[in-house]
Amino acid sequence: MAKLPVSLTINGDEHDLLIEPRKTLLAVLRDTIGLTGTKEGCSTGDCGACTVIVDGKAVTSCMVLGVTASGKEITTIEGLASDGELHPVQQAFIETGGYQCGFCTPGFIMASKALIDENPDRTEEEFRYALGGNICRCTGYTKILEAILQAAEEVRSTS
């Protein structure tokens, strides 16, 4: 089918694009816009590597048709740092070594950011459960959890 006009606000910048309805938001971000920080793992909603934040909610962008994101605010891993300063979750991943190959990391960081924005007071168990939709095949998760707990603590102490 013909391409449709869409207007996406990505990391604060407006993009007016023509896209095919069958393109997922993930494909639009990576292939059309060139923001390749968001990763494609399974493409079936299972791994969380493609997690982005749409209107404040973490979603798997491989499950979203790009045309349906028109008019919405999208934040990707490229949009987290501000004024050259990393977001506390990004900083914590570096400090704890919460990654190895790094493929799952953008998804974990975006999912964690949304969780901490929603409620930084979660217990370790609650964070663990809430991140069940993100899969890492390298780290064994210990350092990832440390990173999230550290970032949550940081956000609690500065808010």
Partner 1 sequence: MKSFEFYEPTTLAEASRLFAEEHAQLLAGGTDLVIGMKALTETPQSVISLQKIPGLAGITTDGDSINIGAMTKVREVELSADILQHHTALAEGASEIGSIQIRNLATVGGNIAHASPAADTVAGLLVADAQVDIASANGERTVPINELFTGPGQTVLRSGEIITRFRLPSPASGSHYIKHKIREVMDLAFIGVAAAINIDNGTITDARIGLAAVAPTPIRATEAEDLLKGNAPTPELLEQAGEAAAAASSPISDLRCSAEHRREMVDVLTRRTLEQAAERANG
Ligand X SMILES: Cc1cc2nc3c(=O)[nH]c(=O)nc-3n(C[C@@H](O)[C@@H](O)[C@H](O)COP(=O)(O)OP(=O)(O)OC[C@H]3O[C@@H](n4cnc5c(N)ncnc54)[C@H](O)[C@@H]3O)c2cc1C
By a kind-dependent CB cut-off of 5 to 8 A, residue 68 interacts, out of partner 1, ligand FES, ligand X, none, with: partner 1
Position 46 contacts ligand X (CB under 6 A)? yes
Question: Distances from the Cα of 90 to the Cαs of 22, 113, 135, 136, in angstroms?
Answer: 32, 9, 18, 16
Among 12, 21, 45, 102, binds ligand X (CB under 6 A): 45
Q: Are strands 73-75 and 4-10 parallel, antiparallel or unpaired?
A: parallel
Among 84, 132, 158, 159, binds partner 1 (CB under 8 A): 132
Strands (E), 20-97: 51-54, 57-60, 73-75
* Cα–Cα distance measured from residue 63 to residue 56, given in angstroms and rounded to the nearest whole number: 17
Position 77 contacts ligand FES (CB under 6 A)? no
Position 34 contacts partner 1 (CB under 8 A)? no
* Cα–Cα distance measured from residue 100 to residue 21, given in angstroms and rounded to the nearest whole number: 35
By a kind-dependent CB cut-off of 5 to 8 A, residue 41 interacts, out of partner 1, ligand X, ligand FES, none, with: ligand FES
Footprint of partner 1 (CB under 8 A)? 1, 4, 20-22, 24, 43-46, 48, 51, 57-60, 62-65, 67-68, 111, 114-115, 129-130, 132-134
